[in-house]
Each structure stands twice: as structure tokens, then as C-alpha cells.
Amino acid sequence: MKIKYETNIATLVQFITLSLLNIATGLNSIITTCIHSSNDCVTNTMLSVIFFIIVAIFFAGVWVLGYTVQDRRSTRLAQLLILVEIAIFLFALLNAKNHTDLLSLFTSITDMLLAIWVIASCLVLIKNGGKRAPARRPVKRRRRK
């Protein structure tokens, strides 16, 4: 599979992947809390649902920004998206250092890798001055007679 340097695709993949991973992490947290401490089960469930909604809304906003960057080919919006992705990367790095289980570590590492992909997509757009990246065509060699 060839990875495309398009911010709309990269942010869509980021939104879907991190939403699914946050559902898994939230369910893991709920199950662990309900098994070990039944008194905190309802509170943790409510907090996990609220946290998931906030994260989903945030990454949906990042997806809209990524789509707008690609659609308008705007270098200013690409710079804004880079700043947002750097913040996401730093937050994921902090979470990776303080992970509680392997699932949260995997989620943080995936988050960092997807942030790098989006940043690379923005840098390609900025490098080309907002114009489309030229397609690389295979070089045809001429045969000598």
C-alpha cells in the first residue's frame, strides 16, 4: 500500500483509528475498575464516556481542519495543523511515558505515528507552495539502435 501525502486522508485515518482505540481503552478502564472497585464503577463509566466524546469531537475537528487544508491548499492552515499535531504528539508522548497498561501504550504510540504522518503531509504541501505534488512517473529508458 502506498501512503499518500494528503492531509484529508491522514486526518481521517487518525480520527477513525484513535476513536476506535479510545473506545477500547475506555472499555478496558471500565472493566478493570468495575472488577476491582465496584463503588467507583458508575463514576468511572460516566467519566470514560465523557472523555471519549471530548476526544472524538477534538479529532473530528482536526479531521475537518485537515480536509480544509487539502481542499484549499492553504499553507497557513497547514502550519496551524502542524501546531495542532505537535501538541497531539507531545500529549501522546506524555501518555506513553505514564501508561498504565499495554493498550494505552499502544494507543499513545499509534497516536504519535499518525501525528508524524499528518505533519509530513503538511510539510509536503508547504514545500510545494500549496500546489499539488508532482506525480513521479517511471523514467523510460531509450534503447540505442
Its pTM stands at: 0.83
- Domain boundaries defined on the chain: 7-127
Cell of residue 103, nine digits:
493498550
**How far is 145 from 101, CA to CA, in rounded Å?**
66
pLDDT tens digits for range 92-101? 999 999 988 8
Mean pLDDT to the nearest integer, 112-130:
91
Q: What is the mean pLDDT of residues 88-94?
A: 96
Q: Render pLDDT for 19-68 as a digit per residue (tens, 0 to 9).
A: 999 999 999 989 988 888 778 888 889 999 999 999 999 999 999 999 99
E strands present in 1-145: none
Q: What is the mean pLDDT of the chain?
A: 88
Q: What percent of the chain lies above the pLDDT cut of 90?
A: 64
pLDDT of 2 strictly over 60: no
Three-class DSSP category at 78: helix
- The amino acid at residue 125 is L
What residue type is 67 in one-letter code? Y
With a cut of 50, say whether residue 1 has pLDDT above it. Answer: no
pLDDT exceeds cutoff 90 at 129: no
The three three-digit cell numbers of residue 142, written as one number: 531509450
Rounded-to-integer distance, Cα 57 and Cα 102, Å: 25
